[in-house]
């Protein structure tokens, strides 16, 4: 059996990044910018401006009385230059006129009959934001690595960019397999169940930054499965199948991956999960996840999510981790690393984790209620009450 870390390292090896596209800022939230500094075409701010409403003056003039020779307001016409012993009325954000080096706030000044009296000699430079004090024209601006946030989008706009270069979202074909599967909304016959993996994995692909293409579920027929894989990869960077990777005689996903390309089949020391098929078909990665929805979603989280992020140039899974105390002994399979479905809550001492329900890999309700996966290491057969474990946060914490 491979460890979780060994399996992940193999999956990530040699994975290429998607190509680059330019998109408008209005579509940029959550997209991943390329890892290259952006040369600013402008100073931010573009001109020295006032941090206060007040009077633009020369500090060297000291505390004298000054005639007010004009006004500078944001977006208004240019104000006259401030010469020795004069002042220009100025609004917050407005350009500091030529000659002035300091702004006296309105509350430290008194204007009467076109003349302003300043309470005390101003310190040079006070309340003036210099041109480029945030970003200088020609600066190579690094953006934080990760999906674009509102504030990075604001920065890009302030620099004059109306669009941004990002990695194309990886296109992911999703194929559920099994004679028993029916689409949700249909009726069920003998021995049939609804396909939960297709809709759930499509959502998980979007959440990871990818662009899902949900294929019609395939019956346990090698010809149909092979054709779905072939057709699905025509318009995808990656294909995720679920089901059909066990050892049963009706499990055809592995066989079809092998027939069309190359296949590795791994048993991984992970709970839930264990079998995982990984192949290459037409130079593209194909992953065969377990058919069980809980195992499929957890192995997606552990293995496929980091792959999609790597294709976007990002490291890791992008999830926040906290240490969380557990009050109960939650059993697990000792040789495997377990990812238990828990609800993490904040309390006075930090975080605590409570089982979200049954830990059977056939129970989707507890996974739906879990906001975290609790990582319990290999070697333990249960959590130790009172001990803390790493929790991978999947959702909001109350």
One of 44, 240, 308, 312 touching its own copies (CB under 8 A): 44
The residue among 85 and 219 lying less far from its own copies, judged by its C-beta, is 219
Min dist CB 64 to its own copies, Å, is 26
Q: At what angle do helices 253-260 and 222-233 cross, to 10 degrees?
A: 50
Q: In terms of DSSP bridges, do strands 65-72 and 102-105 run parallel, antiparallel, or are they unpaired?
A: unpaired
- Is residue 193 helix, strand or coil? strand
Q: What is the secondary structure of 360-374 as a DSSP string?
A: -TT-HHHHHH-SEEE
Query: What separation, in Å, do the N-terminal and C-terminal C-alpha atoms of the chain show?
Result: 37
Per-residue contact flags (x/-) with its own copies for residues 302 to 341, judged by CB under 8 A: ----------------x-xxx-------------------
- Is residue 364 at the binding interface for its own copies, with CB under 8 A as the rule? yes
- CA-to-CA distance for 5 and 302, rounded, in angstroms? 9
- Is residue 348 at the binding interface for its own copies, with CB under 8 A as the rule? no
In sequence order, what are the residues at sequence separation of 6 or more whose Cβ sits closer than 8 angstroms to the Cβ of residue 347? none
- CA-to-CA distance for 104 and 94, rounded, in angstroms? 14
One of 19, 247, 283, 347 touching its own copies (CB under 8 A): 247
The answer to whether the beta carbons of residues 72 and 56 sit under 8 Å apart is: yes
One of 22, 112, 120, 184 touching its own copies (CB under 8 A): 184
- Is residue 342 at the binding interface for its own copies, with CB under 8 A as the rule? no
The residue among 273 and 281 lying less far from its own copies, judged by its C-beta, is 273
One of 18, 102, 197, 271 touching its own copies (CB under 8 A): 197
105 backbone dihedrals φ, ψ, rounded to 5°? -65, 155
From 60-68, 141-149, 167-175, 281-289, give the range in contact with its own copies by CB under 8 A. 141-149
- Is residue 69 at the binding interface for its own copies, with CB under 8 A as the rule? no
The residue among 371 and 383 lying less far from its own copies, judged by its C-beta, is 371
One of 3, 222, 246, 258 touching its own copies (CB under 8 A): 246
118 - beta bridge partners?
109
The residue among 248 and 386 lying less far from its own copies, judged by its C-beta, is 248
- Per-residue b or e along 165-175, where b marks 16 or more CB atoms closer than 10 Å to that residue's CB: ebbbbbbbbbb
- Is residue 39 at the binding interface for its own copies, with CB under 8 A as the rule? no
- Is residue 119 at the binding interface for its own copies, with CB under 8 A as the rule? no
Min dist CB 60 to its own copies, Å, is 25
One of 12, 15, 141, 354 touching its own copies (CB under 8 A): 141
Residues between 198 and 237 that touch its own copies (CB under 8 A) = 198-204, 206-207, 214, 219-220
One of 62, 362, 381, 387 touching its own copies (CB under 8 A): 362
The answer to whether the beta carbons of residues 161 and 25 sit under 8 Å apart is: yes
- CA-to-CA distance for 8 and 302, rounded, in angstroms? 8
150 - beta bridge partners?
none
Q: In terms of DSSP bridges, do strands 54-57 and 102-105 run parallel, antiparallel, or are they unpaired?
A: antiparallel
């Amino acid at each position: 059996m491979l460890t979780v870390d060994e399996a992940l390292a193999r999956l990530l090896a040699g994975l290429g990044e998607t190509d680059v596209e330019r998109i408008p800022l209005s579509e940029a939230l959550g997209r991943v910018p390329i890892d290259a500094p952006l040369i600013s075409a402008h100073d931010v701010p573009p001109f020295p401006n006032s941090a206060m409403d007040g009077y633009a003056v020369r500090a060297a003039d000291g505390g004298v009385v000054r005639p007010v020779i004009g006004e500078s307001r944001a977006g208004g016409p240019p104000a006259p230059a401030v010469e020795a012993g004069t002042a220009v009325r100025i609004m917050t954000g407005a350009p500091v006129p030529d000659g002035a080096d300091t702004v006296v706030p309105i509350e430290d000044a008194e204007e009467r009959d076109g003349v302003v009296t300043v309470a005390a000699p101003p310190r040079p430079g006070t309340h003036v934001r210099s041109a480029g004090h945030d970003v200088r024209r020609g600066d190579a601006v690094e953006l934080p690595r990760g999906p674009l946030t509102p504030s990075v989008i604001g920065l890009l706009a302030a620099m004059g960019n109306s669009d941004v270069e990002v990695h194309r979202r990886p296109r992911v074909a999703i194929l559920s397999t099994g004679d028993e599967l029916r689409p949700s909304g249909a009726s069920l016959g003998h021995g049939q169940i609804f396909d939960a993996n297709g809709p759930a994995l499509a959502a998980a692909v979007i959440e990871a930054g990818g662009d899902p293409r949900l294929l019609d579920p395939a019956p346990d027929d090698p010809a149909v499965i092979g054709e779905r894989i072939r057709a699905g990869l025509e318009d995808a960077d990656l294909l995720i199948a679920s089901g059909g990777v066990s050892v049963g005689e009706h499990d055809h996903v592995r066989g079809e991956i092998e027939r069309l390309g190359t296949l590795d089949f791994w048993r991984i020391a992970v709970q839930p999960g264990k079998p995982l098929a990984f192949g290459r078909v037409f130079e593209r990665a194909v992953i065969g996840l377990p058919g069980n929805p809980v195992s499929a979603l957890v192995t997606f989280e552990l293995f496929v999510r980091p792959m999609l992020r790597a294709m976007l140039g990002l490291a890791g899974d992008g999830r926040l981790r906290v240490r969380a105390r557990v009050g109960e002994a939650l059993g697990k399979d000792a040789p495997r690393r377990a990812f238990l479905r828990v609800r993490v809550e904040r309390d006075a001492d930090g975080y605590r984790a409570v089982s979200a329900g049954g830990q059977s890999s056939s129970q989707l309700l507890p996974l739906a209620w879990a906001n975290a996966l609790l990582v319990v290491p290999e070697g333990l057969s249960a959590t130790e009450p009172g001990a803390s474990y790493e929790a991978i946060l999947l959702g909001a914490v109350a």
